[in-house]
Amino acid sequence: MLTIFGNPLSTCTRKVLMTLAENETPYELSVIDFTKGEHKGEAHVARQPFGRIPALKDDDFEMFESRAMSRYLNEKFSGKLVPADARGRAEMEKWISIETSEFSGHAMKFVYQYIFQRAQEPAVLEAATKGLETTLDVMDARLAKSAYLAGDAFTIADICYMPYIGYAMATPAKDLFAKRPHVMAWWNKISERPTWKKVAG
Amino acid sequence: MLTIFGNPLSTCTRKVLMTLAENETPYELSVIDFTKGEHKGEAHVARQPFGRIPALKDDDFEMFESRAMSRYLNEKFSGKLVPADARGRAEMEKWISIETSEFSGHAMKFVYQYIFQRAQEPAVLEAATKGLETTLDVMDARLAKSAYLAGDAFTIADICYMPYIGYAMATPAKDLFAKRPHVMAWWNKISERPTWKKVAG
């Protein structure tokens, strides 16, 4: 039995749920209610010592960190969300690293400010805007030449961006995306996947 | 021909050079002098659009992002720095994610303050201390039961921490490490590898 400890509203949980949806893998979702501080409670910290979500239990194997969980689950259930060739895998890993280091931190400033009602300093939002513009330009150049971030196929790299973009599109950051036609075409395509509608619906 | 564009003093370059040293792979190092701003110059930004180091060129294939580069190079030249089983790979990926999200950001605050002479606010150093203590506790518990982070063998996960620890040990953060005996035993062991002496020497 596979159990995911997380929350359907959490960006990191959504990466894992999207990976499972694409694999059509059954699982049980054990909801951690972060509005009640359950992620910092003893039971959850025993499985995720940093007090974050998600985590998983797969029979006797436990782990956490959403990007690592997505790689593990995809490998176990199909492998189809990872390119078959070394250069394709290199591209996938490069784009996952870009997401982690150059994208989600910036996007989340908008999500905090406009969705989670955690006010950000104007200078923070300004820096996030600048950072997001740089990254979106790099993504737009890539997506002008390639259907998905890692190449011709939808991979875990695309999944890693989706939860952040899903929320960011409901903030003024939407205007930054709208100026990059290849990013927008890619987003419109991947967000139409029935799996994503299920995860983010 | 394999060319690494980076700098021997850069933490991210050192991850890649350590991966290559472990694989005994020959390469050419094209030094990017960040003290002269070469990482933001036109030639380098053409290969690394965020203006960071390192990047690589392997015949006609170019890429960047140090952790992705390490995975790619190890896979191409031996595969030996990645566990052979799915759970081992899951552990490795988990620990690489922990390094990225919970370790190097904190460690670098000390490195900026005490080595690179970029003064940090006291509150920033205090938060870094607290964050580092949490992560070191999690690492110490893991290393009490396991020779290396991902299991019985030295992997890319261990490599990812080494450049940060190498510098942090020359700052007051050393005291935080010294209180965790299993972390210290692991560090003393891995930093004795001839490959590391070559990379960080």
A-chain CB neighbours of B61 within 8 Å are: 87, 90
Distance from CA of B50 to the nearest CA of A (A): 8
Looking up residue B61, the CATH number of its domain turns out to be: 3.40.30.10
Q: Does B140 touch chain A (CB under 8 A)?
A: no
pLDDT at A189 > cutoff 90:
yes
Contact B157, B90 (CB under 8 A): no
Domain endpoint, select from A51, A77, A103: A77
Nearest alpha-carbon partner for B61 in B79, B75, B41: B75
In a domain, residue A201? The reply is: no
**Cβ–Cβ below 8 Å for B101 and A98:** no
Cα separation, B139 vs A149, in Å, equals 33
Does A22 lie at the interface with B, CB-CB under 8 angstroms? no
Burial class of residue B59 (count of CB atoms within 10 Å of its CB; 0-12, 13-18, 19+)? exposed
Task: List the CATH number of the domain containing B127.
Answer: 1.20.1050.10
Q: For this complex, say whether ipTM is above 0.95.
A: yes
- Does residue B2 sit at the A interface (CB-CB below 8 Å)? no
B197 CB within 8 Å of a chain A CB:
no
> Across the interface, which of A65, A97, A141 has its CB nearest the CB of B94?
A65
- Domain boundary among the residues B52, B77, B102 is at B77
Looking at the fold, whether B177 and B133 belong to one and the same domain comes out as: yes
Q: A86–B101: do the CB atoms touch at under 8 Å?
A: no
Distance from CA of A71 to the nearest CA of B (A): 8
Query: Cα(A128)–Cα(A105) distance, rounded to whole angstroms?
Result: 8
Q: Does any domain span residue B180?
A: yes
Are residues B90 and B186 part of one domain?
yes
Q: For residue B201, tell me if it sits in a domain.
A: no
Look up tokens 């720095």; give the residue.
B81
- Asked if pLDDT for residue B142 goes beyond 90, the answer is yes
Q: Is A106 on the interface with B (CB under 8 A)?
A: no
Distance CA A167, CA B97 (A): 23
Residues on chain B touching A97 (C-beta within 8 angstroms):
65-68
Residues B70 and B96 in one domain: no
The average confidence (pLDDT) of chain A is 97
* Cα of B191 to nearest chain A Cα, Å: 26
**How far does the CA of residue A160 sit from the closest CA of chain B (Å)?**
13
Verify that B28 and B110 share a domain, yes or no: no
- The 10s digit of each residue's pLDDT in B41-93 is 999 999 999 999 999 999 999 999 999 999 999 999 999 999 999 999 999 99
Are B16 and B73 contacting, i.e. CB atoms less than 8 angstroms apart?
yes
Quick one: pLDDT at residue A201?
A: 87
The reply to whether A160 falls in a domain is yes
* Mean pLDDT of all residues in B137-153: 98
The answer to whether A132 faces chain B, any CB pair under 8 Å, is no
Residue-number span of the structural domain to which B16 is assigned = 2-77
pLDDT of residue B201: 87
pLDDT digits (tens, 9 = 90+) for B23-41: 999 999 999 999 999 999 9
Distance CA B91, CA B93 (A): 5
Verify whether the Cβ–Cβ distance A94 to B65 is below 8 Å: yes
CB contact under 8 A, A68 and B90: yes
pLDDT of residue B12: 98
Residue B73 sits in the same domain as residue B138: no
Residues B73 and B133 in one domain: no
Whether residues B73 and B110 fall in one domain: no
B68 and A CB contact within 8 Å: yes
Judge if A53 and A105 occupy the same domain.
Answer: no
CA distances to A140, A158, A190, B40, B186 from A152, in Å: 15, 12, 13, 31, 42
Is the bond into B54 cis (omega within 30 degrees of 0)?
yes
Residues A169 and A91 grouped into a single domain: yes
* Whether residue B114 is found in the same domain as residue B174: yes
Count: domains in chain B = 2
Q: Would you give the DSSP letter of residue B174?
A: H
Last residue of a domain, one of B77, B103, B123: B77
- DSSP state letter for B201: -
Residues A192 and A100 in one domain: yes
Helix (H, G, I), strand (E, B) or coil at B116: coil
Do B51 and B33 lie in a common domain?
yes
Q: What does the block give as tokens for B59?
A: 């015949």
* CA-based nearest distance A195→chain B, Å: 24
Give B25: exposed, middle or buried? Use CB within 10 Å, 0-12, 13-18, 19+. middle
- Tokens found for residue B16: 């890649």
Nearest to B44 by CA among B26, B32, B60: B32
Q: What is the pLDDT of residue B155?
A: 98
Is the CB of A93 inside 8 Å of chain B's CB atoms? yes
Quote the CA–CA distance of A192 and A118 in Å, as a whole number. 29
